[in-house]
Amino acid sequence: MGTSGQVAVLGAYGHTGRFVVAELLERGLRPVLCGRDTGRLDALAGRHSGGRPGLDVRPATVGDPASLDRALAGADAVINCAGPFAGTASPVIEAALRARIPYVDVAGEVEAVADTFTRFAERAEAAGVTVVPAMAFFGGLGDLLVTAALGDRRSADEVFLAYALSSWHPTAGTRASSAVSRERREGRRLVHADGRLELRTDKAPTGRWSFPAPVGNQDVVREFTTADSVTISRHVSVPVVDTCMTSGAVQDVLAPGAPAPAPVDDLGRSAQTFLVEAVVRSGGTERRAVARGRDIYAVSAPLAVEAVLRVLGGRARRAGVASAGELFDARDFLASLAPHVSVEFAH
């Protein structure tokens, strides 16, 4: 592990960033609060001071490389929680490469995650720096579930990820990232087929999915492509990565004026619950992994922080740009997420 115990958090005062800061403190690390708004950074530091010396506050913007260098100075790693990641990932990765420290983000933007692999794979590996994009509910969790279900295999005929959310109230960050993706796709939708991402103009298919109890049979939107399609296909040879989302959750997140998540406990989590089912089919066999938990934004914090701890502790398989399932022991990583996530397997 690094010597300072400091982890820079860009976008520290954002919805997911606040969960990441709290998780770092819970794990005995020292978050360095970074972002554009000094006032909001100071307010966040004050809330965590508890009468002790405040947390380190370092204002930084992605348009000012020098400010990013100051923000990362002396840190062991950086976690980027500031979206839209189409605009923030590259500048912060560049800063991490200059500082030669690991980079982790919670990006859910499919194209931004793909861009990270394309732009930085060779440079990060050459620099000996580990870069982990999409280390969050979308991207990291599904990738770990699929990898754990595969076991020793590195190929499959089909991979399915089925998401059941009790509700989906989007954060401001989700809204901004979604707007960037819509503009980039120009009214088309993104699908993973024939081993690659492609844009289509037809309407997404719908259907039914039989989730484990107590969720049961639900209407779903098929081909609801998430960052998992990128992360999984980086290290699993599979022609089809199909994802579906419960129709009610899709209606929630797309509704005009949809409310933001409302905190209902001392940790700031919402009442939302989730169930993710990974199904891997290969050679006539089928394996399943199921994860259950609460609040898709809050659960991204232990995912990202655990990834940082494993990289700093020498428990990542290699340097360079890589996904969760590629870098870590998937079953062991999933087990470490208790009590945030409960996981079960079936064959």
pLDDT value for 2: 61
Judge whether residue 101 has pLDDT over 80.
Answer: yes
pLDDT value for 196: 82
> How far, in Å, CA of 148 to CA of 129, rounded?
25
Judge whether residue 82 has pLDDT over 80.
Answer: yes
Q: What is the DSSP string of 187-253?
A: T-EEEEETTEEEEE-SPPPEEEEEPSTTT-EEEEES----THHHHHHTTSB-S-EEEEEEHHHHHHH
Residue 153 corresponds to which amino acid? R
pLDDT value for 4: 86
Judge whether residue 98 has pLDDT over 80.
Answer: yes
Judge whether residue 347 has pLDDT over 80.
Answer: no
Kindly report the pTM of this predicted structure.
0.96
> How far, in Å, CA of 136 to CA of 228, rounded?
10
Do residues 134 and 230 lie in contact, with contact meaning Cβ atoms separated by under 8 Å? yes
Beta strands in the chain (DSSP E): 6-10, 30-35, 57-59, 77-80, 103-105, 130-132, 158-165, 189-193, 196-200, 206-210, 217-221, 241-246, 273-282, 285-294, 320-321, 341-346
The better pLDDT of the pair 81, 194 is held by: 81
> How far, in Å, CA of 173 to CA of 195, rounded?
29
- Alpha-carbon torsion (165, 234, 149, 327), positive or negative: negative
Query: What percent of the chain stands above pLDDT 90?
Result: 89
Q: Report the chain's mean pLDDT, rounded to a whole number.
A: 95
pLDDT in tens, 239-283: 989 999 999 999 999 999 899 999 999 999 999 999 999 999 998
> How far, in Å, CA of 130 to CA of 322, rounded?
7
Beta bridge partners of 161: 243, 278
pLDDT in tens, 25-39: 999 999 999 999 999
pLDDT value for 49: 77
Kindly report the number of other CB atoms within 10 A of residue 255's CB atom.
Answer: 12
Tokens of 132: 């982990």
pLDDT band for 60, please (50, 70, 90 cuts): very high
pLDDT in tens, 116-148: 999 999 999 999 999 999 999 999 999 999 999
Query: What percent of the chain stands above pLDDT 70?
Result: 98
Q: Which helix (H) or strand (E) holds 68?
A: helix 65-72
pLDDT band for 209, please (50, 70, 90 cuts): very high
> How far, in Å, CA of 36 to CA of 198, rounded?
35
pLDDT in tens, 272-328: 999 999 999 998 899 999 999 999 999 999 999 999 999 999 999 999 999 999 999
Judge whether residue 52 has pLDDT over 70.
Answer: no
pLDDT band for 77, please (50, 70, 90 cuts): very high
> How far, in Å, CA of 212 to CA of 160, rounded?
15
Judge whether residue 207 has pLDDT over 80.
Answer: yes
Tokens of 94: 């560049």
